[in-house]
Structure 1
């Protein structure tokens, strides 16, 4: 998987980010629109509005595409001039969110002849692994989603965000930011009881928040492990983080290309559906199929998940 630096330029009251060739804004919007209960951004037509925090300053962004070749980012409700370095950090955030630094040409070349991937790779061409750049948000989302359906996971996320997150108000709407690790670190499981999730999940969430707030766990530390297995091991030492959650975070936050949540139920259902099988695939069968996906396991998984909705 090749990585490219952020290519962008300043424009009046915003910036433009240049996209790689294999990019479809509409395909990525379809993925981002998969839940009507999403609370961290708003999609209207071909436009995304999202609040982000850069250097403790909250900004509301409006993102649209120019013929898939670039993303146009406007700053809404910004009264102060935004310095160049802050714009560079905003560009880097969006670049990471849409995984624009990855050339997908080798993935599509491999997928052409793959029995499971050839149709999804054509059908969803230009789809990127939509990331979760913030480590605490990624781990929290992984914990919230454990052993429940996606619909209820979104409900739990909204409750958490609206109780402990910050927001910007614009045009009569609230644009929420995910709670800071420092905020959740100061809570007890009893504080989270009205969110209606298990006591164990409350404990896991607070534990992870404290590790991050105390500087014992960071994105940089995990990336410095340099190897997906070493990073997985570091994560699974944390109470409440099993292999599935670890690989989910390695895939969507840390961008390890070989992250592979092999035990994921959705992955199994997608393979079963594509093959027209009446039973879920055995682990040995999945390993056999995935032998051709070396260093593209994360993208293979993401495209197979996409088949399900």
Structure 2
């Protein structure tokens, strides 16, 4: 079953299902309340923004993105593929990100439909995105979770999710992406909502002692 998160209704349905599946997630919900929807538009620009914003501060990402959008107007797959490197450099993009954006543009021209990936299972959709050279699991999962609203997408490589799981499960070390994915298996088909709960828990605990909830 593939659930698409369009509104609060799907978030609430996911929370109720997760509360029944895992009392630890029920405790997070009791502590933090309803997790935010965090749903954005999908498509080429949305995925490009995720790529651009990686490994830089929010302020830097916004500045780079604004310059890039000014140069790439309209922002199309054709433009990404055909533009000279100088246009990307004007936006302040690094060479690895330039290569990834070019590869993404070519993949779209070759038939990759970014809007219909939500119809696939989370694993299959992730596999399609990571075929694009330069797009890794984290980028794919974040796009699926917050741009397409895939209810079962789960960014196990995200450090905030890993740290939230460490606190929640009282682990000595932060679980890596593979271990966290194994932990999250029990939360299918609502792993996207479980991630939202964990993000909320992480944000809450950053301002507290870091002691796990009961």
> TM-score interval w.r.t. the shorter chain?
0.7 to 0.9
Matched, 1:140 2:75: no
Structural mapping, 1:3-14, within 5 Å: none
**What is residue 89 of structure 2 aligned with on the other side?**
193
CA distance in 1 between counterparts of 2:157 and 2:48 reads 19
CA distance in 2 between counterparts of 1:275 and 1:152 reads 34
CA distance in 2 between counterparts of 1:102 and 1:186 reads 42
Shift of 1:216: 1.7
**What is residue 255 of structure 1 aligned with on the other side?**
149
CA distance in 1 between counterparts of 2:59 and 2:129 reads 26
Unaligned runs of 5+ in 2: 204-214
Shift of 1:239: 0.8
More strand by share: 1
Unaligned runs of 5+ in 1: 4-95, 167-178
CA distance in 1 between counterparts of 2:82 and 2:76 reads 11
Structural mapping, 1:8-23, within 5 Å: none
TM-score, L = length of structure 1? 0.54
**What is residue 15 of structure 2 aligned with on the other side?**
108
* Kept in 2: contact 1:135–1:219 (CA 8 A): yes
* Residues 1:202 and 1:124: Cα distance change in structure 2 (over 3 Å): farther
TM-score, L = length of structure 2? 0.74
Structure 1 residue aligned with 2:159, among 255, 265, 283? 265
Shift of 1:284: 6.3
DSSP-derived class of the 2:164 partner: helix
Shift of 1:205: 1.0
Structural mapping, 1:226-305, within 5 Å: 226-274=120-168, 279-283=173-177, 286-287=180-181, 289-305=183-199
**What is residue 113 of structure 2 aligned with on the other side?**
218
* Kept in 1: contact 2:107–2:132 (CA 8 A): no
For residues 248-277 of structure 1, what are the alpha-carbon distances to aligned partners after superposition, in whole Å with 9 as ceiling and x for unaligned? 222223332211121211211233344566
* Residues 1:276 and 1:242: Cα distance change in structure 2 (over 3 Å): same
**What is residue 131 of structure 1 aligned with on the other side?**
39
CA distance in 2 between counterparts of 1:218 and 1:183 reads 17
**What is residue 207 of structure 2 aligned with on the other side?**
none
Larger Rg: 1
